[in-house]
Amino acid sequence: MIIKVGEAGQVAIEDHDLFTGFHVEAQPGQTAERVASLLAGGTRADGTDHVWIAVDAVRHWVADLATEEWEEGFSAMVDYARGRGWLDEAGTHIRAHLEHLD
């Protein structure tokens, strides 16, 4: 799943049902802090290369595409992230790598 962040903060989800990869694509020059502020919903920067994104925000962004199978796959991805240390202690935010478009 790829979360794309536009210049003005538009959020688009690509490969919403691909649960083996999870990252954010930002515009060139957008810092992790800027991306976090654009995504809102409690998203916060983690250094320069990662952001913590609310699990509920992801569900909101794909609400029109989500099926029961999607929810099962996403929940499994969140559980996997928890086991790898990519879920915060509260279990509400998942860590995503930040990549910049060329």
Q: What's residue 62's pLDDT?
A: 93
Whole-prediction pTM value?
0.90
Q: What is the SS3 string spanning the chain?
A: CEEEECCCCCEEEECCCCCCCCEEEECCCCCHHHHHHHHCCCCEEECCCEEEEEHHHHHHHCCCCCCHHHHHHHHHHHHHHHHHCCECCCCCEEEEEEEECC
For 24-59, the pLDDT digits (tens) are: 999 998 999 999 999 888 899 999 999 999 999 999
Number of folded domains that form the chain: 1
Range of the domain at 25: 2-100
| 102: pLDDT strictly greater than 80 | no
Q: How confident is the model at residue 61 (pLDDT cuts 50, 70, 90)?
A: very high
* Average model confidence (pLDDT) across the chain: 93
The stretch 1-6 carries a mean pLDDT of 93
Of 39, 72, 75, nearest to 57 by C-alpha is 39
